[in-house]
């Protein structure tokens, strides 16, 4: 049998990298697509630089891949200093976080069907709450919920399952501004029942479950990975 293939957007850093590493440890060939990669990215991960919003470029970047068993849409951006309140900033964030996820499913749809594969989209706790500083991030991640449910219904007849994870406060470069700020972090931690920050690997293990045979009858779900933040 040929080696199964996983495609992970945003797989060069943060949560995407942790997910990519877990699948590589399970013996899959992992292709990471994105604009950034850590300098110490393991050699087992194939990093291909590309913008998920450039559909033709994504087709070219994946043209050599046949059946794709796993697609994880982890590429995402956030803008600070009220940049998301401008129309340009708002469109930029939504284009990467939401439109980029839809584009990748579209690009790989036939190859996912050939493998009867699984898709995991990366949503967020902000899919449910309103961030006063990041309207585009909030809107894009809320859109990921609808995208996940719609594609779960659309692709189920082809044997493709589509689910999402919704990370909470995970220690990554994206969250460092909040977690390393004593004034903000104390209030956040007080609301987390499990009383610790999440790690990228916490999210990765859940993504692996959603793509495994153990979740063979699971599609269209959004699974929070937040230490209980959303219910506190």
Q: What is the pLDDT of residues 27-51, one digit of tens each?
A: 999 999 999 999 999 999 999 999 9
119 within domain boundaries: yes
**Would you state the pLDDT for residue 38?**
96
Average pLDDT on 80-107 reads 98
What domain range is 214 assigned to?
A: 5-169+199-224
Specify the CATH number for the domain of residue 76.
Answer: 3.40.50.720
Average pLDDT over residues 73-91: 97
pLDDT band at 114 (very low <50, low <70, confident <90, very high): very high
**For residue 174, is pLDDT > 90?**
no
Structural domains in the chain (count):
1
Asked if pLDDT for residue 212 goes beyond 90, the answer is: yes
- Report if residue 229 sits inside a domain: no
Q: Is 208 within a domain?
A: yes
Q: Is residue 176 part of a domain?
A: no
Q: State the pLDDT confidence band at 1, using cuts at 50, 70 and 90.
A: very low
- Helix 135-155 to helix 100-115 angle, to the nearest 10 degrees? 20
Residue 190 in any domain: the answer is: no
Q: What is the pTM of this model?
A: 0.96
Q: Which residues are catalytic?
A: 137
Q: Is position 189 within any domain?
A: no
Domain for residue 120, yes or no? yes
Residue 230, domain member (yes or no): no
């Amino acid at each position: 049998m040929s080696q199964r293939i996983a495609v992970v957007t945003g797989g060069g850093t943060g949560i995407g990298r942790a997910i990519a590493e877990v699948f590589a440890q399970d013996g899959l060939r992992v292709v990471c697509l994105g604009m950034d990669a850590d300098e110490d990215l393991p050699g087992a991960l194939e990093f291909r630089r590309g913008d998920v919003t450039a559909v033709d470029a994504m087709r070219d970047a994946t043209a050599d891949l046949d059946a794709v068993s796993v697609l994880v849409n982890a590429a995402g951006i956030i803008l600070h200093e009220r940049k998301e309140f401008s129309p340009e900033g708002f469109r930029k964030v939504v284009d990467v976080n939401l439109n980029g996820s839809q584009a990748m499913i579209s690009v790989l749809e036939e190859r996912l069907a050939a493998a009867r594969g699984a898709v995991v989209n990366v949503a967020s706790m902000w899919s449910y709450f309103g961030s006063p500083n990041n309207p585009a991030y909030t809107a894009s991640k809320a859109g990921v919920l609808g995208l996940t449910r719609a594609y779960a219904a659309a692709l189920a007849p082809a044997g493709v399952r589509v689910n999402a994870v919704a990370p909470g406060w995970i220690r990554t470069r994206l969250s460092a501004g909040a977690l390393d700020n004593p004034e903000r972090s104390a209030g956040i931690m007080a609301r987390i029942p499990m009383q610790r920050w999440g790690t990228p690997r916490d999210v990765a293990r859940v993504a692996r479950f959603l793509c495994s045979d153990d979740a063979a009858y699971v599609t269209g779900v959004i699974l929070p990975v937040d230490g209980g933040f959303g219910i506190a």
